[in-house]
Every structure is written in structure tokens, then in C-alpha cells.
Amino acid sequence: MSDLREMMKDKKRIVIKIGSSSLQHAETGDLDYTKLDVLVRELCDLRNQGKDVVLVTSGAIAVGRKAVFIKDEKEDNPIAVKQAYAAVGQARLMMTYQKIFAEYNQVAAQILMTKNTIVDNLNRFNAQNTFAELFKLGVIPIVNENDTVATYEIEIGDNDTLSAIVASLVKADLLILLSDIDGLYTDDPRKNPDAQYIEVVEKLTDDLMEMGKTSTGSDSGTGGMNTKLQAAKIAGSTGVDMIIANSKDIKVIHRLLSGQKIGTLFLADPDENFDLPLYVQQMHRE
């Protein structure tokens, strides 16, 4: 078992996903600059070790909502309002990231995607080329869904899934999902004290996938355990190992990559019949 974790030391291309709730102060919903700073430092240090790094970050809608200060949460419902929040928030979020990355002399880039980026052959090819060039240039791509244009037909809908799609697209060695939970349990630990922690998942069985459907997400993000298991399916089927770990201490990133046994490791289980564009085309938000 520990050999599996030793393998993490050799991971060369890593996609890291952080959710909105991990980036905000729970009390105010404002950005947690201390966490952001540690996150960026960790990523820059991976880059300094010669690894290729991609950050998939949520937060556009949450940051935009804060910026225009609408008290009544009910006003979030119309899609156009969320899209307007995202338009404001994505720019603010990037400004904050760019500032911190610059402090570490690291160049960062922005890539915004929708379902079409994967389903359309030309778009997918272009995106792949862009990632490849950015890696060559030593740049860290920062990815989010293009929430300002992504309505139901073309939206991926949550960044767990988006990060797995990105990991698959760039042929990453490892996907790390940083979340507000320690990993995978046999049941929701917040509701069932007997829930057992699962350290390694070698095979995503139908039972496991079913279990995820009953869990719920956090207040500000879109992902619950269901989307994380969907992400494991996409990543694993395309040969990418995945780890779910708790973001309460962002330094978990370098600990994971030094082989420490933290979080739940989903071992890649490549499926040569898995067709990413077709899978993404057929995805439906529930």
C-alpha cells in the first residue's frame, strides 16, 4: 500500500482543483488570502521542481456576487444574474491570482472552457495545443468553466468534472481534488458516525458510484461526492490517478506528493473504450 503512495513522488504533470468553499472565509464569503497565498506558493514550488502544473479554480460566481453586493440570495436564481456575477468575479479572481503568482515570479495563464471545448474536434485540438505550449513555456494554466456563456446545453456544471476532463485532456499523471472533506467514506460522515474512511479505491464499482449519488455538496460550490466519483471515473478511465484531500491545510499538496498517506487515492483503471468527447457530449446535469 505504501508503495502506491511512493509513486506520487514521480508524478510529473499534476492538475489541482480547488473549490469555492475552500477559497472563502466561511463567516463572510470573502476570499481567504492566506489560503490563496499558500496555494500559489505550493503550485510555484511544484513548478520549480520541474513539474507541469494546472490549477482548476472555482470562485468566479462567489467572488462576483460579493463584489456587486446583493444581499438577497434569491436573486441568484436567474441564470443571467449568475453569469453576470461570473463575468465580474472571474476577472477579479484572476487579478488576485496574477498578483500572487507574480510575487513568486511565476507566469500564469487563463483558460475558460465549456462542453464544446471538448466535444468539438477543432476546439479540443486547439485547447490541447494551447496547454502543450503553456507547459513548454513553463506557464501555469488557471482553468475555470466559462460561466458567462455556459448555459444548460453547453455547461459542464461543476469543477470536479471539469478538472477530470482537463486532466484527461492534458494526459496528466495525477489529479488532486482539494475539498472540504478528508476523502471518501462508506457513508456521509456528517450524518452517520459509523461511516468508514476509504484510503484507496482500486476499482470504481457500481455500488460506489451509487453511494455518491446520495451525498450532498457544500453551500458555495457545486460538487458533492457524486461529482467527485464522476471525476474519478473520467480520470481513471483515461489513465489518471486521482486523490481527494481536505483543503483545510493547503500544504497537503506537497505532503501528498512526497508520498504521505493522506486523503483517498483512486487508482487509474484505464478503459480503452472510453471516449472522452462522446462521454462529455452525453453528460447531463441532474
Nearest to 179, CA basis, from 128, 250, 93: 250
β-bridge partners, 109: 141
Which positions from 49 to 88 touch ligand GLU by CB under 6 A, shown as an x/- string?
---------xxxxx--------------------------
Q: What is the closest distance, in whole angstroms, from the C-beta atom of residue 113 to ligand GLU in the complex?
A: 10
147 binds ligand GLU (CB under 6 A): yes
Cell numbers given for 2: 505504501
Q: What is the closest distance, in whole angstroms, from the C-beta atom of residue 195 to ligand GLU in the complex?
A: 23
Which range of residues in 40-48, 142-150, 245-253, 270-278 is near ligand GLU by CB under 6 A? Answer: 142-150
Question: What is the CB-side half-sphere exposure of residue 181 using CA atoms within 13 A?
Answer: 22
Which positions from 26 to 45 touch ligand GLU by CB under 6 A, shown as an x/- string?
--------------------
Q: Which of 144, 179, 226, 238 touches ligand GLU (CB under 6 A)? A: 144
Which range of residues in 139-147, 164-172, 195-203, 255-263 is near ligand GLU by CB under 6 A? Answer: 139-147
Smaller CB distance to ligand GLU: residue 149 or 195?
149
Which residue type, as a one-letter code, is found at position 249?
D
Which range of residues in 140-148, 186-194, 245-253, 272-280 is near ligand GLU by CB under 6 A? Answer: 140-148
- 136/278 Cα distance (integer angstroms): 29
Smaller CB distance to ligand GLU: residue 169 or 257?
169
* CA 59 to chain CA centroid, nearest Å: 11
- 133/144 Cα distance (integer angstroms): 19
159 binds ligand GLU (CB under 6 A): yes
- 50/53 Cα distance (integer angstroms): 9
Smaller CB distance to ligand GLU: residue 5 or 224?
224
- 18/20 Cα distance (integer angstroms): 7
The H or E element that residue 58 is part of is none
Residue 97 makes CB contacts below 8 A (sequence gap 6+) with: 36, 40, 55, 57, 108, 142
Cell numbers given for 44: 510555484
Contact 3, 200 (CB under 8 A): no
DSSP of 43-57: HHHHHHTT-EEEEEE
Q: What is the closest distance, in whole angstroms, from the C-beta atom of residue 209 to ligand GLU in the complex?
A: 19
The residues in 204-233 that bind ligand GLU, with binding defined as CB under 6 A, are 221-223
Q: What is the closest distance, in whole angstroms, from the C-beta atom of residue 154 to ligand GLU in the complex?
A: 13
Smaller CB distance to ligand GLU: residue 61 or 88?
61
19 binds ligand GLU (CB under 6 A): yes
The binding site for ligand GLU (CB under 6 A) comprises 19-20, 58-62, 144-145, 147, 158-159, 221-223
